[in-house]
Copies of this chain bind each other. A is one copy, B any other.
């Protein structure tokens, strides 16, 4: 069994980007990513800080728009429109989740497709279905595909089973694995909470992608020996032995499943860091595209 080291793979992507940004012509502006954060949810604060820090480390410029928890849709739209119109901004990310009174899908769609580096706008999602790589692939699915590629996992003809049908992970990663291109061409099954006899399906997976958001949901009897297991979950479970009172676990019961798997991602340190690296790569692509 091999542990797929997402931290190391992400670090090498970030190092590559840093080099490329540093190598830009003297006197030109670096890529600039703008974050919009609504409210002060601690997880959102921490995610935006992490992304901001990584961007700075690469040498990118960053902007941060903070909006109050009760901001109106009109005001959120105005903030998006302003960044859309600003030629100094190359990428825009709205940190999810938004408060309940705001419609995430509409907010993501409002970002100009050429600045939608989070890849959750309708146009960029549609491009995935069209096997069209002129857009931005949403970051977590892109990170999963990159982890598989850099770990030498070939998907062609293999059975990929995705547990979870979210817009952020399950559906786009299914479409990516299905594309007619090298490093894809998989047979793909998407299952979820309504699936009858889930274990019978997950046990068929050559590559199992768990993105259902339930701590340690995938048990040993749901995994075929030798499968590659990608754990997308990041769940906090109470743990009084830790100073902060919780620990992070994935959607996979790692101690039980890892002995069975040929390769597996840990939580933390698997898919998570790749999501940030893919966001940076998309921002770099957006910047390259406008010709600096």
Give A residues with C-beta under 8 Å from B.
Answer: 105, 121-132, 156-159, 165, 167, 171-172, 174-175, 178, 180, 185-192, 194-196, 201
Contact = CB atoms under 8 A, between A and B. Distances in A.
Please state the number of chain copies in the assembly.
Answer: 2
B157 A196 contact: yes
A78 to B, nearest CB: 22
A196 B201 contact: no
A175 B126 CA distance: 11
Contacts of A165: 178, 180
A129 B178 CA distance: 15
Nearest to A171: B129
A156 B165 CA distance: 14
Q: Closest 10 interchain pairs by CB?
A: A126-B126, A122-B126, A125-B126, A189-B189, A187-B195, A157-B196, A187-B191, A185-B194, A125-B129, A157-B194
Contact of A196 (B158, B172, B196): B158
Contacts of A122: 122-123, 126-127, 130, 132
Contact of A190 (B156, B188, B191, B194): B188
A125 B130 CA distance: 9
A124 B109 CA distance: 12
A136 to B, nearest CB: 12
B105 A132 contact: yes
Contacts of A130: 105, 122, 125, 167
Contacts of A171: 129, 175, 178
Nearest to A121: B126
Contacts of A105: 130, 132
Contacts of A189: 187-190
B187 A201 contact: yes
A155 to B, nearest CB: 9
15 contacts: A122-B123, A122-B130, A125-B125, A125-B129, A126-B129, A129-B167, A156-B194, A157-B196, A158-B196, A159-B196, A171-B178, A174-B190, A186-B194, A187-B192, A189-B190
Contacts of A125: 125-126, 129-130
A251 to B, nearest CB: 17
A55 B149 CA distance: 49
Nearest to A124: B126
